[in-house]
Structure formats: C-alpha cells, structure tokens
A and B are shown apart, each in its own frame.
Chain A
Amino acid sequence: MISLTDILTLLPESFLTVAICALLLLDLFLKPGQRSITHYLAIAVLGVTGWLVLQHYGAPRAFGGMFVRDGIADVLKVFLLLTTALVFVYARPYLRDRGLFVGEYYILSLFAVLGMMLLVSAGSMVMIYLGLELLALSSYALVALNRDSPLSSEAAMKYFVLGALASGMLLYGMSMIYGATGTLDLDKIHAAAAATPQRGMLLFGVVFVVVGIAFKFGAAPFHMWLPDVYQGAPTAVTAFIGSAPKLAAFGMAYRMFESGLGSVGPYWQQMLAVLAVMSLAIGNIAAIMQSNLKRMLAYSTISHVGFLLLGLVNGQPAGYAAAMFYAISYALTAAAAFGMILLLSRAGFESEEIDDFKGLNQRAPWYAFLMALVMFSLAGVPPLFGFFGKLLVLKAAVDAGALWLAIVGAVFAIIGIYYYLRVVKVMYFDGADDASALPPVADAPVRTLISINALALLVLGLTWGPLYGWCARALGIAQ
C-alpha cells in the first residue's frame, strides 16, 4: 500500500514531474519572444529538484522496493541536475541563433532527466527498463529536434533503431534472469542468483544484459551509433546527451550488476574487462583520425567509458567509488568541452571542426586557456580533475588483481593525450586562416559560467579529496 513515506521518498521526482507538466502548459501560452521564461524556469526547476534531493525526506526504499534512495542515488542525482543546468545555460545562444529555441528542448531534456533520476534509483528490473526508455525516447526526439537537417534526421534514425535493438537485448536478458531467479526485484535477484539451479539460463541472461548496457553506454564494440549521433545532433543536444547520461549509465550499471547480480560477479566482470579493453583501444585510436571535434569527442567518450568500466571490473565498493568519481569528472568536463563549442559557434558557423579552433589564442586568449584546461583534463594531465579520476580507476583495476588491465589503460591514456594536445596545438601554434577568425560572441551568463566550469576542473583537481570522500561515503566505505 502507498503511504505518505513513499510519496515523501519520491518527492524530488514527483516535483519534477509536476513542474514539467506545468512548464509544458505554460510554454504553450508564451509568445516566441518570451521563450526565456521557459529557459529560466527550467533551470529553476532543476535547482529546486536538486535542493529536494539533498533534504533526505522519506525512507531508503519506497513502493515496495521499486524505488531505492541511497547515497549513490543522491550523489548521482545532484550531479545529473547540475550538469543539465550547465548545458541549459550553454545551449541558449546556440538554440536562439538557429531557430531551435523552443520549449520542447527544455521539456524533453527535463523528461530525460526524470528518466535518469528514476534509473539511478531503480530497485527492480522493471524500473531500470522504464527509466531507461524514458531517457532514450526523449533523447531520440532531441537528436531530431533540428528536423530540417538531413544529418540530424539520419543521426536520430540510427540512434532510434540501434537504441530499440539494445532495449530488446536488455529486455531479453532481463526475462532470462527473471526465469532463472523468479523475481524482478534486484535485492531478491542478488539473494537468489548465487543458488539458482538454472545457472545456464542466468548466464545467458547476463550476457544479453551486458550487451544491452554496453549499447547504452556506447562501449566498444557496440559504439557504432555514438560518433554519428554526436556529430549529427545539434551541438546543444550533443552537449546534453554527451554529459549527464554517462552518470545515469553508471547508475544503471551499478544497480544491475552490483545490486542485482553482485553475487555472481565473475559472470559479468570478465565481460566488462573485455569491453573495457576494446573501448580503450577503439576509442583512443579512432579519435586520432578525426577532424571534426564533435566526432573526436564521441570517440573520446568511448575511451572514457572504457576507463569507467575498469572501475566496475573491480566489483568492490572502492572500485564503484572510483567509477562514480570518474563518471562525475567526465560529465563536468564533457559539459565544459561541448559548452566551449557552443560558445564559439554563432549563426551560420558551427565551430565544430578542429580547424575552426586555429589561432584561438590570438582571437580570444582567455577562451583558448579555458579550452586548454578542458582538453588537459580530458587527457588526464595532473593536476586537473580528469587525472585523479583516471588514477583512481587504474588503482581499482590493480586492486582487483587485473594488473594487465591497468597497464592497457595507462598505455591508451598516453595514446589519448596525442589527440587532445592536437587541439591545444591548433589553438596556440596555428594561425587563423579564414573568416572564422572572429572573436567569440556569447551572452554574459554563458561566458561567466563556462569560465567557472573550466576553472572548477582545475580547483576540483587540486582539492579532489572531499568529492571522492562523498562518493566513498555513498558506497559505505569508512574514511
């Protein structure tokens, strides 16, 4: 039966749902010139939801175990909301210049956020699937938002077809796991999995679930959709689907693998190790050849997913804490990277080729410096944020007894530095050669926030202790 505690536990999600519906109705009555109201209200909604998440009303579980509220869910939700708010601010000038400044961008993004929040709080396989579908359906529509662009439509089509395939795989795997354990509840699966007489069926289900999750993560060899979608989607949408959903993907993997299948760890850990190595190799090597920055960042995402998986392979709380820290650092850095592309673009100029960054240092030394910070953080150069994420996941891999995995990770991290530094080289040592050599034009909020975001990468790199401490506490590691 539903009690008040259930509703209080679900307060942030309930508030977000009601707010989205209210915003949807309000947006209907706004004139095109008043769209900024939707923009600011959407950010305010994210802020209030974040505040509610931090209030800790309610119980650890609600709706008969369907919904779980623990430290991991709270930390991930806070950063999900923060990253989305950053993207909203960065996206506004871009959307306005291209006639895409519509309420649906905000509504669909907020629905995606709601899906992600439910996903990281899932206590049952049904909730994992439904949260994922809410996120995915909103993302498909967002990618196709610029419907007059053939590239955008093609990307949305690919995303939709492959996403549907991945959902099918995931569902099939879940049905097998249900068949082997007789329950959809993740905790009960955890208890029943180790002793099930249907080990073959369980393993069969686990394979399909791993494939489905790898598809959604964008881990190689299931990464084919990622570069096309990142390149084809409007940059404002790429910034969103390239940052916050990685946190949700970590949350989903944690719920499925640790909460659900934690008692049969060796089943999936080997598979994740293979996925990690392939993602690191394919992501880093293919990124070297890209001339489009969005495509390069897509391959870079694949390699970062590889690092994240290194933390999951560990299968211990310390490994999950490292992976969570990595996901947070990646989401914030990716938001800044795409924010920089958004900042430098203007009407009729996308600024998404690496060559568009030529001579940025002469045009706008401050933004060149910020972009360099972002690239160094993605590459994992100390003392930036990205470095400590990499350090922690590599340490987790060593602790798990997979020294070879850590060595592979380190080797590919060094290969990866090449293509990040190429962007820095283009900005500082190449002269601008064409009409793109105009200084960036952007609103004051965008300029301020991107400066704060990029500098935060440096500050969080220098003082990474508290954030890692928060992640570790969320996973119940005593400090």
Chain B
Amino acid sequence: MTTQLVIFYFFATVLVASALAVITLKNSVHAALSLVLTFFTAAGIWILAEAEFLGLALIVVYVGAVMVLFLFVVMMLDIKPESMREGFIRFLPVGVIVALVMLVEMLSLIGVKALQAQALPPNPALADGSNTAWLGKALYTQFLLPFEIAALILTVALIAAVTLTLRKRSGVRTQKPSEQVQVQRNERLRVVKMASEGKPGESA
C-alpha cells in the first residue's frame, strides 16, 4: 500500500464520518462545523488527485466565505431542534420510499456507468507544473477577454447594489463630525437680554 493510498483512505474516512455528523448532530452549530470539516477533507482529496487549484478554491470560497456566512445565519436564527424533529415518525415511510427510489436511481445510473466508464486520459499540458499556473496562464492569455468582461459584470453588480440600496433618510440623527468641529460660539450660546424683574404683580 502506497503512502498516497493510506492518505486517501484516511481522508475518505474522515470525510464520510464528518458528512454523517452533519446530518446526525442535534446542535446546528456543530453540524455546520462538521460541514467545514467535510469541505476541508474533500479539498484534501482533490489536492491528492493533483487538482490543487480546485482544492484551494474549495477552502477559500466554501470554508472561508460561504460557511462563515452560514454559521452567522445559524447562530442568528434561533432554531429549536425539537420542533424540527416533529412528525419524524409520521413522515418516515414517505422519506424511506423517496430515499429508496433515489438509491435505486443512483445505483442504476452509477452502477451501469461505472462498468463502462474509463478513466479520462491525463491532460498532457498539465503533466509538469501546477495546474494553478496553467489556469492562471489560460485566464490571462486565451481567456483574457472573458476574464475582463467578468470584471465588468462585477462592476455592474456593485453599481446596481449601490443604486438600489443607497438612500438618504430624513429624520435620522447621525453624527457629522466635520460640521461639529466647525461650530461657532454664537451658534451654541445665545445671550438674551432681559429686563430685570420687578416686584411680583407689578409687571404685565
């Protein structure tokens, strides 16, 4: 058994175990954290298969950004596990039937395909060097124009988001430091000249 295979089995075991934990753990924060572990091990397997860019992208995008958002949402929503489990027994038969149908479908599809499928030949362009470098090169040469257009699309998304959400609210008390420091004495202090008070009952 080669080292690679040992590492693969290790990652695969952790992956399956953490994936199981995602759907069995009662605490939804723990479930979300298990999902992070699942993504992380999946990324490990991809890197093992020499798809290091995909693996890193999975970590950066899903673990770094998407799951953090997900955790925020889970923590903000007050989800009661008990209420989620209501009707578990009642809907169990339906769930089992759906699961069985899906299992049969997947087996018939994958089972048949797995017998016919042949491993894709490795891309000779990727034989030496990392595929991150290859992807980067392709993005800046062959796909330069689409890459730039994608940047424009992001710009439009930014402009659209600002257009649709930025509004000047009236009646909101916000601090304006630039105006506050320019305050003059006579804006804050008003000297009122009054006639001195006479005896009670004398003045109108």
Contact = CB atoms under 8 A, between A and B. Distances in A.
A287 interface: no
A67 B157 CA distance: 23
Interface stretch (A137-145, A220-228, A275-283, A424-432): A137-145
Contacts of A96: none
Contact of B146 (A111, A126, A141): A126
What's the interface size class on A, roughly? Answer: 20 to 34
A395 to B, nearest CB: 37
A107 B153 contact: no
B160 A137 contact: yes
Interface stretch (A127-135, A171-179, A459-467): A127-135
The interface residues of chain A, by DSSP majority, are classed as: helix
A410 interface: no
Nearest to A65: B142
Contacts of A476: none
A157 to B, nearest CB: 12
B164 A144 contact: yes
Interface in B88-130: none
Given A137-B153, A137-B157, A108 B146 contact: no
Given A118-B149, A130-B149, A63 B159 contact: no
A82 interface: no
A167 B163 CA distance: 23
The interface residues of chain B, by DSSP majority, are classed as: helix
Interface in A71-120: 102, 104, 107-108, 111, 114, 118
Interface residues of B, number: 18
Contacts of A10: 145
B144 interface: yes
Contacts of A1: 141
A114 B145 CA distance: 13
Contact of B142 (A24, A64, A107): A64
B160 A141 contact: yes
A66 interface: yes
A17 interface: yes
19 contacts: A1-B141, A2-B144, A24-B159, A63-B144, A63-B145, A66-B143, A104-B159, A107-B159, A108-B156, A111-B156, A124-B146, A127-B146, A131-B149, A134-B149, A134-B156, A137-B157, A145-B163, A147-B164, A147-B167
